[in-house]
């Protein structure tokens, strides 16, 4: 059984497309891997789709580590990539390396992902020097959503596209084994993909990227709060789940569940003896230690 690695990701550029998916627990990791997903991102998006926050900024290192451990236990072949949460790498290079190292040492991840361009290149270099594979992320970076003015398409002007191009190149030069391109015009993503020596993973960035990533809950129709244009829903499991759970609730209230096939029996003689024992126990008068008539 061969596990996907960062060098294997780089080697795939120009050879085959890379499917990537978010995963937040053991069960999701098992399902995704069985489906042939190469890369599992434990994204900070868990803040929204799992923990119910309005954005990704609230999730902590400890919460991320908890979910990374679960996914790592479920993944036998896929490369598990831990998303570094907001303010876990921005304050200093030393803190960035320490936190990234925790994801590999404690979380058993195979790599980490961080958002940003040239401004985080020093952190990337230090992480790579410490033996930590790093996936970059430019374009629409959710941790910067306040500064970007919301979840909007990025790099729509020539100047902004050139800035993104420079950021992606800087990440590759700093040692990233790949770069996520999120919510940018397809022609910009195509140009970046062609120029970069490492794979690009697109999300809302068109078909020319070296791979694609989507959120687990979006693909399966399990999250109904936000519906980005770039998401393709391959199933409606949320609808199916509500239907199944409704059937369960109704069966319980009607008394049709559990049925005979769901219960355990006991030998008739054992049952009779049991009933005799509890009958004797319940018919015996309880002794009141405070009753002066008791000996």
45 is in an annotated binding site: yes
* Catalytic annotation, pick one of 54, 62, 63, 182: 182
113 is in an annotated binding site: yes
58 is in an annotated binding site: no
Active site residue 182: yes
Query: Tokens 């992480």 identify what position?
Result: 127
- CB burial of 24-44 (b: ≥16 within 10 Å; e: otherwise) equals bbbebbbebbeeebbbbbbbb
What is the DSSP track for the chain? Answer: -PPP-HHHHHHTTTT--EEEEE--SHHHHHHHHHTT-SEEEE-TTHHHHTT--SSSTT--HHHHHHHHHHHHHH-SSSEEEEEPPTTSSSS-HHHHHHHHHHHHHTT--SEEE--BSGGGHHHHHHHHHTT--EEEEEES-GGGHHHHTSS-----SHHHHHHHHHHHHHHHHHT-SEEEEES--HHHHHHHHHH-SS-EEEESS-TTSSEEEE-HHHHTT---S---TT------HHHHHHHHHHHHHHHHHHT-SS-GGG-----HHHHHHHHHHHHHHHHSPPP-TT-TT--
224 is in an annotated binding site: no
Query: Tokens 């140009």 identify what position?
Result: 191
283 is in an annotated binding site: no
Q: How far apart are the first and last CA of the chain?
A: 75
Binding site members? 44-45, 83, 113, 115
Binding site members for 3-methyl-2-oxobutanoate? 44-45, 83, 113
Tell me the catalytic residues: 182
Binding site members for Mg(2+)? 44, 83, 115
């Amino acid at each position: 059984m061969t596990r996907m690695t960062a060098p294997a990701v780089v080697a795939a550029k120009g050879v085959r497309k890379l499917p990537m998916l978010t995963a937040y627990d053991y069960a999701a990791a098992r399902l995704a891997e069985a489906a042939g997903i190469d890369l599992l991102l434990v994204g900070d998006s868990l803040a929204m789709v799992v923990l119910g926050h309005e954005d990704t900024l609230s999730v902590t290192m400890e919460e991320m580590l908890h979910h990374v451990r679960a996914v790592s236990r479920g993944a036998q072949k896929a490369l598990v990539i831990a998303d570094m949460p907001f303010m876990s790498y921005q304050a200093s290079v030393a803190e960035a390396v320490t936190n990234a190292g925790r994801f590999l040492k404690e979380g058993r991840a195979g790599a980490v992902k961080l958002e940003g361009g040239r401004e985080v290149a020093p952190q990337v270099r230090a992480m790579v020097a410490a033996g930590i594979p790093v996936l970059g992320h430019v374009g629409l970076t959710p941790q910067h959503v306040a500064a970007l003015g919301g979840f909007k398409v990025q790099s729509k002007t020539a100047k902004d596209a050139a800035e993104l191009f420079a950021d992606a190149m800087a990440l590759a030069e700093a040692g990233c084994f790949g770069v996520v391109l999120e919510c940018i015009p397809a022609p910009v993503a195509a140009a970046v993909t062609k120029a970069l020596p490492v794979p690009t993973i697109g999300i809302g960035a068109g078909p020319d990227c070296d791979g694609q990533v989507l959120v687990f809950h979006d693909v399966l129709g399990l999250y109904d709060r936000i519906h980005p244009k770039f998401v393709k829903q391959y199933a409606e499991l949320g609808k199916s789940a509500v239907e199944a759970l409704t059937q369960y609730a109704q069966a319980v209230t009607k008394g049709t569940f559990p049925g005979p096939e769901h219960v355990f029996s006991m030998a008739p003689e054992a049952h009779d003896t049991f009933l005799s024992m509890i009958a004797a126990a319940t018919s015996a008068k309880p002794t009141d230690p405070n009753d002066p008539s008791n000996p």
